[in-house]
Amino acid sequence: MKTKFVVFALVTLALLSWGLYEALVGAPTEATMGHVQRIFYYHVPSAWVGFLCFIANFVASLIYLKTRSARVDAVAVSTAEVGVVFCTIVLLTGPIWARPVWGIWWTWDARLTSTLVLWLIYVSYLILRRYSVGGPNPVLAASLAVFGFIDVIFVYMAIRWFRTQHPQPVIGGGENSGIDPMMLKALLINFAAFAAFGFLVIWLRYTLERVRQRVEEAHAMKALGSAR
């Protein structure tokens, strides 16, 4: 377990460095936006990884409601936390990129608004978990996650329905989408690196949550024992 983790951490580190190199040196400079466009290689992979985390959280929540397995709940909480972190990166890098290119930090278009709502929903999910210590918390949190995810689909589809200031999807977005192969390479390597990094943190957080659950269980058993 420990060696596996160390090996995986080293692979992640290598991927992250390779991704950094490709983003800063390998990929060509964008014609109109210049160097600031390189933020793309962090902005987009973070968004994808964030979405993957929220999807994993939704699936874990559904499975938890069915099976009530503590392991699955540990997956749900760790994916939600890491998802919020990546979503935060998206919301921070977006304005940094938007300021020189659009001339504004922020605009309330469908894509930006929906991402902010997504972030707010999962922060409220984490707050709910924090507020309800012990007792029924995983069930309540899982129900909120289901509600939240339906909302995410709503707000996610909003981008496809409205015209937005935010660019249309570049990969798989229909005709006229697609980018320079070198840019695509840098993007995909960074996606792999971020996904590996996200997985690494989720793994750590999951292990920690399992320990916390076991400690809580032991406390409960001890309390039961002394009550007898």
Partner 1 sequence: MTFATTLRNSLGKDLRLEWRSKDAINSMLFFALLVVVIFSFSFELSAEESRRIAGGLIWVALLFATVVALNQTWARELRNQVLDVYRIAPAPLESLFLAKVLGNFIFVSVLELLITPLFIVFYNLRSVGPWYYLVIASILGNWALVVNGTFFGAISLRTRSREVLLPLILFPVSIPALLAMVSATTVTLTGESSPYLSLVFLAVYDIVFTLLGLLLFETVLQAE
Which part of the chain contacts partner 1 (CB under 8 A), choosing from 17-25, 73-81, 99-107, 146-154? 146-154
Contact string (CB under 8 A) for partner 1, positions 159-198, x = contact: ----------------------------------------
Among 147, 169, 182, 218, binds partner 1 (CB under 8 A): 147
Residue 62 is a binding residue for partner 1 (CB under 8 A)? no
Q: Is 148 in the site for partner 1 (CB under 8 A)?
A: yes
Burial of 154 (0-12, 13-18, 19+ CB in 10 A): exposed
Residue 65 or 192 having the CB closest to partner 1: 65
Q: Number of residues in contact with partner 1, rule: CB under 8 A?
A: 28
Residues 85-144 that bind partner 1 (CB under 8 A): 113, 117, 120-121, 123-125, 127-128, 131-133, 135-137, 139-140, 143-144
| Inter-residue long-range contacts of 188-193, CB under 8 Å, 24+ positions, other chains counted | 189/15, 189/18, 189/19, 189/22, 190/19, 190/22, 190/23, 190/41, 190/42, 190/45, 191/44, 191/45, 191/48, 191/49, 192/15, 192/19, 193/12, 193/15, 193/16, 193/18, 193/19, 193/45
Does 50 sit near partner 1 (CB under 8 A)? no
